[in-house]
Every structure is written in C-alpha cells, then in structure tokens.
A and B are shown apart, each in its own frame.
Chain A
Amino acid sequence: MADLDALEDLMRAANRGDSAAYLRLFTAITPVLRKVVRARGAALGHAGCEDVLQDALLAIHSKRHTWREDAPLRPWLYAIARHKVIDAFRARGRHIELSIDEFAEGLPAAAGPDPTDGRDMDKVLGQLDPRAAEIVRAFGLNGETTAETAARLDMSEGAVRVALHRALKAIARLRERMIE
C-alpha cells in the first residue's frame, strides 16, 4: 500500500480530514513499528510489546501537527516512534516481568492471548467516562462509522468527532501518567 501512495500523500490527505487515507497510513506503518518494538523488547512479552507499540501509535496521532507538510514523513515518524519506544521501555524496564517463555518450551502450547492485544489500553479506557470509552471502542470493536455511532448514541456527527478527539487526548495523557 505504501508503494502505491507515498506516506507523505496519505498524511497530507489525513490532515485535510481524509480518514480513509489516515487508516491506510496506520495500516502501512503498524507492522513495521511492531517489528522494531519486538526486536528490542523480547523481555516484555508479546502483550507488553503491543502496549509499547500502541503508545507509539498514540504519540504519532497526538503529535501529527508537528510534521511539516513539505518534509519527508519517515524521519519524523521514526523520531516520534523512537522517542516513545525508548520512553516506554525505560519506564517498563524497571518492572519487567520475567518471561516464562524460556521455561515453557517443553510444555504444550496453550492457546495464548491474541498477540495483537494490548492490556494497558483497557485499563485506561476503564478510567475514561463510560460514554467516551464507548465512542473509542465503537470505531474499533464494532467497526462503526462516525454516522453510525452518532445515530446509535443519539448525538450529532460533529459531537461524536469532538468526543472522540477529546477521548483520545485524555487517553494519551493517562497513558503518559501510567508509564511515568
């Protein structure tokens, strides 16, 4: 996908309000970032790595206005992600849980949790006001569009957009406090 469209074009379109382009951007960069995080953070386990990855994605989203539209996107992207990943590892490193993977080799493989599931995000969503958490979940779990969420919650589309925007900001703040 990234070959068909330069990441810069996708980001510029996202800045004009094109959420389909924005989703394609995230879809293109997430696997790359996941590899980077897992290469560094074997000791955190898959779920721990996924938390770090989600931190980085949240930071890319909440700092997207610090990318200059005439600059290449990749250096910016990696600078943001590297900062967030180092930060997350530094904080989590202090209380790394010892992975049992090494001991478990001889054991039959149990059906583990989904490796793309982050745990921290659910804790944070639990701290949000329920309506805000519901709106954040709606786009992901239910795959709803803004219009569908608006209709279901009896809100205007504009109100849903603003509520989502604020909820994501609150999440970024809470996550930050969590890894302090």
Chain B
Amino acid sequence: MKTEDLILALSADTLPQKSVAQQLARAMPVATLISIAAFLVFWGPRPDIWDALGSAAVLKTLLPLGFVVMAAALALALTHPGARQDIRAAALGLFAILVIGAFATALLNAGFAGLIAALSTPSLLTCLISIPVLALPVLVAVFWALSSGAALRPRLTGAVAGSIAGGLAASVYSIYCDKDMILFVVPAYCAAIASVAVIGALLGPRLLRW
C-alpha cells in the first residue's frame, strides 16, 4: 500500500478516542470495588475501626490515597509525550521526604532495637502478602488504561502503575491492620507498595509497548 493511500485512510477515520484519563476513570472504580469486596470477604475491618479512624491512625488510610492521586497524575504525564513531568515527580519526591522524615524521627526516638521490636510480628508477613494480593485487580485496570496512552518510558511508567495499585491496596488493607506504630507502618507498607512497583516495572516494557 502506498503511503499516500494510507494517509487517505487514516484521515478518513476521525472517530473520537477516549482519553487515557477517561479510561483510568472507567477502570479504576471497578477494580477498586473488586479489591474492596475481596477485602471484606477475606480480611474484614479491625474490631476498633471507628476508634482508629478517629485517631491519627486514619493517616494509614489517607496518606496512601494521596500518594495514589500523585502517582496517577505522574502516570498520565508519562503516557502523554511532551507533557511536563517535573512538577508531578517533585510532588511525589516531597511526599517521600516527609514520610521518610517521620520514620527517621521515630527511629531516632526508639533506636534500632525499637525498629526490630516493631517489625517482629506476624503482621509484617500478613501485610507484605495482603497488599500485593489486594493490588492485583487495580494493577490490571491501571495497565489496561495506561496501555491506551503512549508511554515513552515503559519501565518507569510500569513502576508508577504498580505504585498506584500498591498505594490503593495499602489504603484498603489499613482498615484491617491494627498496627499503628510509625516504625511498623512506614517500612511494612512501603516495602509492600515497592514490591508491586517492581512487578509493574517488570511488566511495563511488555504491556505498555505500542
């Protein structure tokens, strides 16, 4: 086929396409509901959930959600060639610094012995397994939506996709988790989210090619 003939065919197709943001807005709620349904069946909220949500422990639920919003903004920039990514990446970096700062302060107060004590609980394993499992439906949805975009850096974009899924799953899981110490929550949740980000980075070059 001649190129001039091809562009005649291409230019005749002016049907509107759904934006990546629209696809994301379509797929994320469905996946989140699946994740929440699985959570309610197999995990369930902690007994003192209403007290916990009234205390500082609510940050375990809210901060991952904020992280998800920032990661989603970055993912959209990464799938739109020419879009600015620096401000969105800086927002995520600032967020990470604040979290690490809170963790470092707690570590200075309690020392390494305190960290070991906080992490020496079966809850650690539960957390590291539960968050990636709860993230799975969201990961599928995010990849589905982002693959309609044009990722120039598929590995990085995949990692951000994993962060979105991991962050959302962490927020859901926090309703079950009854460990509220910073020395437990920050390393455990971050490790769990990071493991989903690694899965995303491995899948990115495969699933986001175009």
Measured CB to CB, the residues of A under 8 A from B are: 14-15, 17-20, 22-23, 25-27, 30, 34, 50, 53-54, 57-59, 61-68, 71-72, 75-76, 79-80, 83, 87, 114, 116-118, 121-122, 125, 136-137, 139-141, 143, 146, 161-162, 164-165, 168, 176, 180
Q: Is the CB of A79 within 8 A of B82?
A: yes
Q: Is the CB of B10 within 8 A of A114?
A: no
A80 to B79 Cα, complex, angstroms:
11
B7 within 8 A of A: yes
B83 within 8 A of A: yes
Q: Is the CB of B80 within 8 A of A68?
A: yes
A131 to B141 Cα, complex, angstroms:
33
Q: Which residues of A sit under 8 angstroms from B80, Cβ to Cβ?
A: 66-68, 76
| 21 A-B interface contacts by CB (under 8 A) | A20-B11, A25-B11, A57-B10, A59-B150, A65-B148, A66-B20, A67-B81, A68-B82, A75-B81, A79-B81, A79-B82, A83-B152, A116-B4, A117-B3, A118-B6, A121-B1, A137-B9, A143-B8, A161-B15, A162-B15, A168-B10
> Which listed residue, A80, A137, A162, touches B5 by the CB 8 Å rule?
A137
The tally of residues in B whose CB lies under 8 Å from a CB in A reads 31
Q: 10 tightest A-B contacts by CB? A: A140-B5, A79-B81, A23-B11, A121-B1, A26-B7, A65-B17, A22-B11, A63-B150, A76-B82, A139-B9
> Which listed residue, A27, A83, A136, A143, touches B150 by the CB 8 Å rule?
A83
Residue-wise interface mask of B (94-112) relative to A, using a CB-CB cutoff of 8 A (1 in contact, 0 not): 0000000000000000000
Q: Is the CB of A140 within 8 A of B4?
A: yes
Q: Which residues of A sit under 8 angstroms from B19, Cβ to Cβ?
A: 65
Q: Which residues of A sit under 8 angstroms from B13, Cβ to Cβ?
A: 19, 61, 161, 164-165, 168
Q: What distance in Å separates the Cβ of B11 from its nearest Cβ neighbour in chain A?
A: 4
Known A22-B11, A168-B9; judge A66-B81 contact (CB<8 A).
yes
Q: Is the CB of A118 within 8 A of B3?
A: yes
Q: Is the CB of B152 within 8 A of A79?
A: yes
Q: Which residues of B sit under 8 angstroms from A116, Cβ to Cβ?
A: 2-4
B43 within 8 A of A: no
Q: What distance in Å separates the Cβ of B39 from its nearest Cβ neighbour in chain A?
A: 33
